[in-house]
Structure 1
Amino acid sequence: MTSLHAMAAFLGQSVLPVLLVLLLAPLFAGWLAIVKALLSNRTPPGLFQPCRDWVKLLSKETIVPEGSSALFRWTPPAVFSLLLVSSLLVPVLGTGGKPMVFGDALVFTGIMAFVRVMMALGAFDTGTPFGHLGGRREMMVGFLAEPATVLVIFTTSLFSGSTMTFQTADALRSGSLLPTPSLVFGGLAFLLVLLGENARIPIDNPATHLELTMIHEAMLLEYTGPSLALMEWGSAVKLVVYLLLGIGLFFPWGLSGTVRPESLLEAGFFLLMKLLVAGLVLGILEVLMAKLRIFRVPEFMTLAFLLAILGFLSHFVLEV
């Protein structure tokens, strides 16, 4: 019985979250596309359209730009693998048990920074002007977003005394349903960071290929076939992982406190409901907002930093 319990704990804490993130990433991308199409009075694509697109890309030939090194070829699988590892650092279904990976939110931030650097270097390796343009802009956004992310993590860690995401989510899950001022400011800052880190409107438009405006898509122009599928799938995984981190830090109610199957099923239902609402909110925001000029992006990310500072300070001024 001990070995069976250990095996169930391993599956519930490591294998299951990764599989869920892999499955939810294309489904959430399809749901977000449906919401945006309906709000724009267009015929929506199918929920599984991202899956069909990526399967088609996986069956195509990979073309490597002339003059590129092994860095360009190994960037897609490395980025995809690191993003999957990051899914182990955030609470997916619950906070119970001992995490199989050191689930520190600062480690999560470091992994995302390393992914950003790898993507930028892969874009630089092509030697094309668009790759250099996208890589430099991506590093600029990341440079501005990381301080706000760290401050948000420190703000939420004040409720648990730890930067471990599982401990923070467990402490907030057992607390009051009414949000404190620090969590309100921190949540708003995290929303702005999420939009910036995932190249969403108003920072970037993932549906455009206009040379003077694109950021993330500029780094993917030279990828084809399976490499492009991994990069696009990885982008969807990154968005879902950021949403899971936000859910764990600001909306942890519904997460399971144990690894029992019935508790995990209940937590899975609440997770689906939260992701449906998150897709609806993101879709409304992207339809209502216009893309910012690239020179206004620092102002947007500075707002996220200021909100994070207000959240951190308000904990000591208004709540202690």
Structure 2
Amino acid sequence: MSALGYAAIAAQAGAVVVGAPLLTGWMRQVRARLEGRAGAGTAQPWRDLRKLLRKEPITAAGTGPAFRVAPALLVASTLVVAALIPLVSTATPISGHADAILVVGLLALGTVTLALAGLDTGTAFGGMGSSREMTISALVEPTILLAVFALSIPAGSTNLAAIISGAAEDPARLASPAGLLATAALAVAVLAETGRIPVDNPSTHLELTMVHEAMVLEYAGPDLALVELGAQMRLTVLLGLQASLFVPWGIATAGDSWGSLLLALAVLAVKVAALGALLAAAEVFWAKLRLFRVPELLAGSFLLALLAVTASYFLGTGGGIL
């Protein structure tokens, strides 16, 4: 493997770390403009992280290892996912290990770690947020897997690099019924996995409606900075995954050059920014669902993913998953 492959890994992992707070700031700015406000600026999340990193670390009394390890593990698992997923290139030294099941498992690891941290605090809100998060996760993770499986059947593999390469060579797959159903199912799953409206409100201050925020109420200082960065990275990674799966054009391949890698990085930034702006604009017109209505929405997305797998199996040309 040439230096280009290693550079692609470093480029997409670095882009996720550096760009995640900027994406969050961009989405807040888009939403502020649509609501008639000036907004704090795209770089405000980076300023918030810098302020938190300068504060004194504080650990809640009575907490154990789960509470202390969760922020670092959340960031680390998301960083591994950012390196595995073919965001800018399908030819990297680890592209052969970019299996959809592994990626979903790593994302679930971050979710479970944060839920355990919420339980470790022993507070009512921490336990409430953790139970809600695991209820949502139990429906979201299978939906992501089925949506990717629908695309993996024509490719004959659950490897994300193979799926993306095949979709780029045969765009008709994406316009098929299976591709459209999988797109809709994964879009809803991304909303739930990242705690966005209508599943959760990332800016809420009402304790009884919190999901993600309820689990991190006891964090402060550098630990809170890592939790916030991890959540922002997860949003960036999942939007990047959706862009790579359903709009794969622009991603560098095995025979490309350094210029193609830089172009792929720029195209990735544009695609993720466009998806972020679309999501922020939609949140202006959406309202948060009641908690008891969320499973209905997620069950609907699971059904869409199941229909996508069925359509891909009966209408596709793939011979099955290897």
TM range (shorter): over 0.9
TM-score for both structures, normalised by structure 2:
0.94
5 Å-filtered alignment, 1:162-181, equals 162-176=157-171, 179-181=175-177
Q: In the alignment, does 2:227 pair up with 1:249? A: no
In the alignment, the residues of structure 1 paired with residue 67 and residue 153 of structure 2 have an alpha-carbon distance, to the nearest angstrom, of: 41
Match of 1:313 among 303, 310, 314: 310
Could you tell me whether the CA contact under 8 Å between 1:72 and 1:126 is conserved in 2?
yes
Change (3 A) 1:103 1:319: closer
Distance in 1, matches of 2:122 and 2:253, equals: 50
Asked whether the 8 Å contact 2:86–2:95 carries over to 1, the reply is: no
One-letter identity of the residue aligned with 1:217: E
1:238 to 201, 211, 234: 234
Instruction: State yes or no: 1:296 paired with 2:293.
Output: yes
CA distance in structure 1 between the partners assigned to 2:3 and 2:167 by the alignment: 28
Any conservation in 1 of the 2:96–2:159 contact (CA below 8 Å)? no
Counterpart in the other structure of 2:320: none
Quickly say closer, same or farther: Cα 1:101–1:127, change in 2 above 3 A: farther
Question: Residue 134 of structure 1 contacts residue 215 of structure 1 at CA under 8 Å; is this kept in 2?
Answer: yes
Q: Which stretches of structure 1, 4 residues or more, deviate above 6 A after TM superposition?
A: none
Instruction: Measure how far apart 1:115 and its partner are.
Output: 1.2
Q: Deviations over 1:287-317 (max 9, x none)?
A: 1110000000100100101111111112234
Q: What pairs up with 1:43-122 in 2 under 5 angstroms?
A: 43-99=38-94, 102-122=97-117
Alpha-carbon displacement from aligned partner over 1:34-89 (angstroms, at most 9, x marks no partner): 11111111112211000000000000011111111122111111111111011122
How far 1:266 moved relative to its partner? 1.6
User: Is residue 193 of structure 2 the alignment partner of residue 209 of structure 1?
Assistant: no
Give the root-mean-square deviation of aligned CA atoms.
1.5
**Cα distance in 1 for residues equivalent to 2:11 and 2:59:** 34
For 1:290, give the aligned amino acid.
A
- C-alpha distance in 1 between matches for 2:273 and 2:236: 12
What residue in structure 2 maps to residue 192 of structure 1?
Answer: 188
In the TM superposition, 1:213-228 aligns within 5 A as 213-228=209-224
Match of 2:123 in 1: 128
Alpha-carbon separation, structure 2, partners of 1:86 and 1:268: 17
Taking a change above 3 Å as real, the CA distance of residues 101 and 84 of structure 1, as seen in their structure-2 partners, is: farther
Contact 2:27 2:280 in 1 (8 A): yes
The reply on whether 1:152 has 2:147 as its aligned counterpart is yes
Indicate if the aligned counterparts of 2:5 and 2:91 stay in contact, CA closer than 8 A.
no
Structure 1 residue 319: Cα displacement = 4.1
Instruction: Report matched runs for 1:277-292 at 5 Å.
Output: 277-292=274-289
The AA in structure 2 aligned to 1:226 is P
Question: In the alignment, residue 304 of structure 2 is paired with which amino acid?
Answer: L
- Alpha-carbon separation, structure 2, partners of 1:149 and 1:102: 18
Q: Output the CA distance in 1 between the equivalents of 2:184 and 2:178.
A: 10
Q: Deviations over 1:211-233 (max 9, x none)?
A: 11010000110000000000000
Corresponding pairs, count: 315
Contact 1:10 1:100 in 2 (8 A): no
Which structure 2 residue ranges, 5 or more long, are not aligned? 318-322
Contact 2:86–2:244, Cα closer than 8 Å, also in 1: yes
Q: Aligned pair 1:270/2:267, yes or no?
A: yes
Identity within the alignment, %: 39
AA at the equivalent of 2:243? I
Contact persistence 1:120–1:136 (CA under 8 A): yes
Instruction: Report the CA distance shift for 1:316/1:71 in structure 2 as closer, same or farther (over 3 A).
Output: closer
Give the 3 Å change call, closer, same or farther, for CA 210–220 of structure 1 in structure 2.
Answer: same
Partner Cα separation in structure 1 for residue 117 and residue 286 of structure 2? 31
Q: Equivalents in 2 of 1:317, 1:67: separation in Å? A: 55
CA distance in 1, matches of 2:138, 2:102: 16
Whole-Å separation in 2 of the counterparts to 1:84 and 1:96: 18
**1:165 and 1:273, CA in 2 relative to 1: closer, same or farther beyond 3 A?**
same
Alpha-carbon distance between aligned partners in 1 of 2:95 and 2:169, rounded to the nearest angstrom: 22
Q: Which moved more, 1:87-96 or 1:116-125?
A: 87-96
Note the C-alpha offset of 1:100.
Answer: 5.8
